[in-house]
Amino acid sequence: VAWIKRMFGLSKAGHGGTLDPKVTGVLPVALEEGTKVIGLVVHTGKEYMCVMQLHRPVPEEELRRAINMFVGEIYQRPPLRSSVKRSLRLKKIYEIELLEYNGRYALMRVFSEAGTYMRKLCHDIGLILGVGAHMRELRRTRSGPFRERNGLVRLQELSEAIYRWKQEGKEDLLRKYILPIEYAVSHLPKIVVRDTAVDAIAHGANLAVPGIARLHEGIKRGDLVALL
């Protein structure tokens, strides 16, 4: 984030969810006014590709049985090397898929609630199996609406895009890499407001039915929505 601020000469930038040291993958970074909505991305689901190393081999069926025990709500205490208080927390794991296993290493795809530690998940699976295990490698492939497969940008590519814009006046790469702020709320249900109601809402008025042009079905009281 500090590098990106320096590259663009920005006053504000913020990221959507910390990546531990040596972990690679998706890290959404918001620029200037975009920092106001990055909190919505921080608290969305995350998907990981995780390599777990077992300290002793176990049969694959036994491993699958242990992994399945961690799908759903689990108790988790953050590891020693973490940026949060080490208190017991309730977290939700939506899916764990065992992709490959060779007796020593297990490659897993994990989709979980924000703030779930994969390092601790591997350790706890090792405890259940009775052989011990640790996280060998981790890559985040999804953070809320941002996915690795649609447009992961490296810092080097961003630097080259800025150079191209400044030296050649071409902004095509910057437009490809920097997404509109609306993308950060693409996972939320939407309410589209009529032009005539925008000014009143911007000044604190409540939104009434005549001011709505269209909206998603199934929005309930207390839901978080995007107003467009």
Q: Tokens 């590259």 map to which residue?
A: 7
Annotated active-site residue in 20, 124, 172, 223: 20
**CA separation for the pair 109, 141 (Å, rounded):** 9
- The answer to whether residues 218 and 191 touch, using CB atoms and an 8 Å cutoff, is no
**CA separation for the pair 177, 28 (Å, rounded):** 11
- The answer to whether residues 19 and 140 touch, using CB atoms and an 8 Å cutoff, is yes
Is 20 among the catalytic positions? Answer: yes
- Extract long-range pairs of 8-15: CB within 8 Å, 24+ residues apart: 8/162, 14/38
- The answer to whether residues 31 and 12 touch, using CB atoms and an 8 Å cutoff, is yes
Phi, psi for residue 187 in degrees, rounded to 5: -85, -10
Q: Tokens 């920092």 map to which residue?
A: 35
Catalytic residue set = 20
